[in-house]
Amino acid sequence: MKNENIFQEMRIAGIASDTRNMQPVVILKELSGERELYIWIGPVEAMALQRAISKEVFQRPLTHELLRNLVDKLGARLEHIEIDDLKDHTYYATIYLKTPDARLVTIDARPSDSLVLATWSGAPIFVSERVIQGMSETETMDDSRKKVVFTQEDVEKTDEELTKILERIKPEDLGNA
């Protein structure tokens, strides 16, 4: 049976730090099960996601807020996002927008950006069964490598922990995110 068109709804369970390399990791958890998916992201994206979860708004819009505002001002609505492929240890995502004239527009995007926009808008997050099943040993983390630094229930702790992570990152690391 082909499972490439089957999607599972997931939610962001938190942001962790891979203790081997201090790289931020988004933890997605199945709504109807116990499986988790780990997606390594850049520190800037981790901070943007944390801010979206905590609904922290700056005086001037940051890039993800600008995109959200643009979608809103054009009268479109973020329907959902799909994390739909995994190639060479890189995840791929698609954003689904509904236009005012009821057209469905798809946009290729990075999962980290998609997750931030979905979080801001409250849109559902779907992950391809093929992606979940295709996660190799290198994309899993046992508890000894995972230090959870953010859960939705612990916003204040996240600011402090992510700040510590970001303080350890060198500017040259940001070009690889």
Structure tokens at 64: 């993800």
Query: Would you say residue 2 lies in a domain?
Result: no
- What is the rounded distance in angstroms from the CA atom of residue 139 to the CA atom of residue 67? 29
Q: Is residue 38 within 8 Å of residue 27, measured between CB atoms?
A: yes
36 assigned to some structural domain: yes
Nearest partner of 150 among 41, 20, 9, judged by Cα: 41
Residue at 1 is within a domain: no
Residue with tokens 């709804």: 9
pTM here is: 0.75
Note whether residue 64 is domain-resident.
yes
- How many domains is the chain partitioned into structurally? 1
Q: Give tens-digit pLDDT for 28-74.
A: 999 998 899 999 999 999 999 999 998 888 888 888 889 999 999 99
Which CATH number does the domain housing residue 138 bear?
Answer: 3.10.690.10
Q: Domain residues for 35?
A: 7-176
Indicate whether 119 belongs to any domain: yes
Residues in the chain: 177
Residue 157 placed within a domain: yes
pLDDT tens-digit series, residues 86-118: 998 899 999 999 999 999 999 999 999 999 999
